[in-house]
Each structure stands twice: as C-alpha cells, then as structure tokens.
Structure 1
C-alpha cells in the first residue's frame, strides 16, 4: 500500500517546532513504514531538507504559502492508494478532483466542522468524497455527526498515543535517576511539584491554577507549580496574557516557576521530575495529548471536564475530573488531596502507566490506523460493509 500522511500548513514534520499533529504523524509513519510505502508531507523549515528519507519514510516539504497547490500537484502525480489529510476538510474536494482514484482519509484533531469554519456545502462535499473520517476523541466525532448525520458510517475514533520508551516513571531506576538530575538542575529537590504543560493561553486556564495557589500553599508550603510552555509552539515572545501570568506568578516567587518553550525531546524528563499533572483547559479541548504523556510518566492526572479530556480518565483510578472547571478551589482541593497522599499518587500513576501501555502506545495507534486505511480501500471498491 502506498500511503501519504499530510500535515497542515502550520508546522513541519518532524515536530522540531512542536505540535500534536506533527508528533502524531512522525511517530506513526516509522511504524507503518515497516510494511507500507509511506511519505510524510509538511511545510519547509530552515532546519530541515526539502526532501529526505529516514526510518523507511520519505519526507517531502512544500512552501507554506503555496502548500495546498503543491500538495495537490504531488498527489495527482504520485498515485497514492491512500492519502491521510489532517484537519483540513475543505482541502478534500480539491485533492479528490485532482486524483479521483486515490482514497482519502481525513483525521480531525479539532472542531473543524463548526459552522464558522466550514459551510454546509463544503461539509457535505467533504463527507461524500472521503472514504473514512478519523477523530481523536468521541467528542470531536460528535461535533461532526451531530451537524452532518451522513458522516456517521464513515467516522471512527482513533485515540492518539505516546512513545512509551521516552517516558520513565519515577519508580523505575532510569526514572529515579532522571528525577534526581532534573530536580537538582532546577533547584526543586525536596519540593512537591505540580506540572502544567501547554500553551500559555487563556483557554488553557493557567490563570485558574494561579488563583488556586493560596489554598494550595496554605496546606503545602513546599509546593512548586511548574508551568511549561509559551504563547505558541516554539514562540517565546510575550503577549499581554503571558505578561499577566508572569506578574500574577511573581506574587508566589517561592512556589511558582515558568519554563518557556521546551523541545519535544526534553519534555519527558519534566514529567518524570513531577509529582502530579494538571490540565486546566477552559475550552472544549479535543483531547490534549498531554494526558497520554502524563500517564506514560506515571503521574496522576487532574483534568477539566472539557471536550474529550475526560475520555481517557477513569475517575479515582488514573486521575480526577474537575467538573466545576472554572473554580480555582476545585483544583486546589484535588491537588491538596494528592499531595497529602503519596500512596494514592502512586496507585493512580501506576494504573495510568498500565493503561497507556495497553491502549495508547504508538504501535497500537499505528495498528488502528492501518485498519482504517484497509477499510478505506474496501469502501472505495464498493465493499464498505465487508
């Protein structure tokens, strides 16, 4: 099978600038490439060649400003069996018209079928032309099928994943070593570390965690809340919201620290050095990949009841869901509970690690994708019910 995996026009693959889609594509490509002819297509970057081959995968990179045009020409000429397009439903019609024999699979990582993003006609055109639609959560699937019921038979949730070998829980020998080293580097030895990883954006809710600090400090004066991220992937420039966070955080200099953009390869160690992970998203999150990362590192998770986030949380088994997600006190209560109970933290963390090993490794994700590609091929041949 000859397959192309096409990223959006935003960030390059591999994910040297970050990006969940970019991490996703690069991770599954090398596994699928063991049994199929795989190409990954993304935008050009000064640090990457325009084309190269590594780990049985061809990488092609096009100009950001003419990305769809170049992608369309390439797909037309390359004669792929399956082209997997990420997050761009409005591209499907152009690509399908250029290469009618190709089978198109659309993966949807955000609410791309919202009325302000796609018209009724564009949505119906896309759904009629794709063989399969993959969504990163049931929540995202429902945003599509509730508006376009005809998409129901083509839509399937394929959860994302994580490289299990990159993450070392603190109870392992390697995890213990990493934890000591990074805590020593950051001056956090002996501290109780709560970790936030994500864009410093209001929709991600870091300000809610800062508002929770007084009640957390009251019970745990040795807490350090570590915020990892910047306003946008790879961009450490400071906007007004980030300035507000820095100013707010300065009220708790002994208990709050900010670490700007971290390259993906350096992220796992920050999880390992932490005691628990919190996702305070205020928007309808598709399903943030930080949940998979935290589970892989063996951390208990506190997450907001927004979008697809709760789908990977088993309450009181690998974490807790905050239903009153706008309320700082709700986070403080759960954070204090976990920081006060080491045994509970360990039990939740070990359950989460076992869960991610079972369900969310890249091998599992790749197997699920290959199954979808095969279904797409059968569908296109008029045997969709087989």
Structure 2
C-alpha cells in the first residue's frame, strides 16, 4: 500500500492526529492488512506511522520521466506567444487553491518588478481561487506581468519549464511530496520553494534550490530576484538539480527500489 498524501497543518499535531484518525477510519482495515506501507517522503512516513506499526513503513519517493522534461529545442513551438517573448519568466504549476500559496507569489511579484520591471509570471493550473487571483492581479496593476494560463496540455508543459528562468513552489501547508519540483529539476529550471513538509527532503538550500519561509512574500521575491540576477548561481543550481534527479528520482531508480521491496514481501509471505 502506498501513501501519497498527508493531512497535516504544519506542527499542530494535537489537531491533525485526531482528525486524521476520523478521516482514515474507513481505510484502517486496508492499512492493518498491508504487509508493507510505502510513503513518498519521510514526513509522509511520520504521518502514517501514527496509524500502523512503525516497521511496516518504508520511504520510496516519487519519480519523474527525465527524457520528457529535458527539452533542448523549443523552436517548433515559437507560435506560442509566451514561449516566444524574451522577458524573464517565472513559472508556477499547481492547483489554484489557498494551500498552494499562489496568492503569496502574486504579492511577491510587486517586489520583483521593482527590481526587474519586465519580469513575467506564468501561472499554470485551475482552481477555486482563479477569480480572486484575477481581481488581485488587476487591483495590484500586474496585468502586464502575470498571465493565468489555466490548464496546459501535458505535451506543452515541458516546454514551459524549459523556457522559464525560475520555478516557484510557494506552498503554505505541509506537502508530502512535490512532483512539480522533480519536473523543474529534470528541466534544468532553478527552484525557489517554501520550506514545508517533504520539500527540504528534495531541495537542499543553496545547492538544488533556494528555500524560503512559507507565506513571506518579501523573502520569496528576494530569492526570485537573486536567481534572475545571479545567473551563475542559477546555472549551478540547475546543474546540481539535474544530477540529483538523475541519481535519485529517475523512474528506473524508483522502479528498481519498488521491485526490491515487492520481492521481499512476496518471499516473506
């Protein structure tokens, strides 16, 4: 059994542990019967260990198709306007919901454009906050600097990553694992991410990305500007990220680990 998500509210265990017992009650019989529970991060493993024997839980992260996201030539997609212009590009990919923190990123853009007036934020995703974000963008006078793209087809997404100068992951609440982080790493796009949940298990600060305090729009802006201005640092982070994603998160590596665990369980039973 694989656990991909967690129900946590940062450090408020007195709230989320009892609440999780309630929400997970229908699934307890499956959890109890499982010989092995796979968690995608250590923070997810800590969560699931509240509901089962600790020795049944192992950590195997999600994987990514490196070849899909390593785009070297975008020339045949120049008909797409936001791929063609030469402005510095900042990318967000995720649901437009409060916990993903995209509104904090919009606030951060006010500070970014003071230093880099032509910076352009591309927001990929759908969600209940879309109308709110459109009003927010207009009220802040950021229509020229922020584009809400809505849903983007899977075959276009790798090109968006590849032409972006910075990828931002501004989540406010605990994330068990950020697959979009792996996609950005595989694309060679430097990352600025909130230091929450399983994110620091993927991103090493100043090595494979820059970590920021969640909800701090000014610090977020400072780190975005840092990567846009200091291209040597950005390129170094991109190289490190690509190396790490190949060694730890490519699908062949993950599949080998899962097969090894399945074989152990099969022989044990």
Both structures adopt the same fold (TM-score exceeding 0.5): yes
Aligned to 1:195: 91
Structure 1 position 337 matched with structure 2 position 226: yes
Instruction: Work out the CA distance in 1 between the residues paired with 2:86 and 2:163.
Output: 11
Task: Work out which of the residue numbers 17, 24, 31 in structure 2 matches 1:118.
Answer: 24
3-state SS of 2:44 partner: helix
Taking structure 2 as the reference length, what is the TM-score of the superposition?
A: 0.89
Aligned to 1:130: 34
Mapped contact 1:180–1:273 kept (Cα < 8 A): no
> CA distance change for structure 1 residues 183 and 376 in 2, over 3 Å: closer, same or farther?
farther
Q: Deviations over 1:227-286 (max 9, x none)?
A: 00111xxxxxxx4x2101012123211110011112223211110010011101111111
3-state SS of 1:374 partner: helix
Aligned to 2:255: 366
Q: Could you list the runs of 5+ residues in structure 1 that have no partner in the other structure?
A: 1-105, 169-173, 232-238, 381-386
Q: Could you list the runs of 5+ residues in structure 2 that have no partner in the other structure?
A: 8-16
Instruction: Work out the CA distance in 1 between the residues paired with 2:91 and 2:53.
Output: 38
Instruction: Work out the CA distance in 2 between the residues paired with 1:122 and 1:226.
Output: 38
Aligned to 1:242: 130
Structure 1 position 309 matched with structure 2 position 215: no
Displacement of 1:348 in angstroms is 0.3
Displacement of 1:299 in angstroms is 1.1
> CA distance change for structure 1 residues 118 and 184 in 2, over 3 Å: closer, same or farther?
closer
Mapped contact 2:106–2:137 kept (Cα < 8 A): yes
3-state SS of 1:263 partner: coil
Q: Deviations over 1:130-166 (max 9, x none)?
A: 1110011110000111x23x52111111111111111
Instruction: Work out the CA distance in 1 between the residues paired with 2:83 and 2:3.
Output: 41
Q: Deviations over 1:303-359 (max 9, x none)?
A: 11111111111111110111x211111101100111111111111001101111111
Alignment RMSD (CA, Å): 1.9
Structure 1 position 260 matched with structure 2 position 156: no
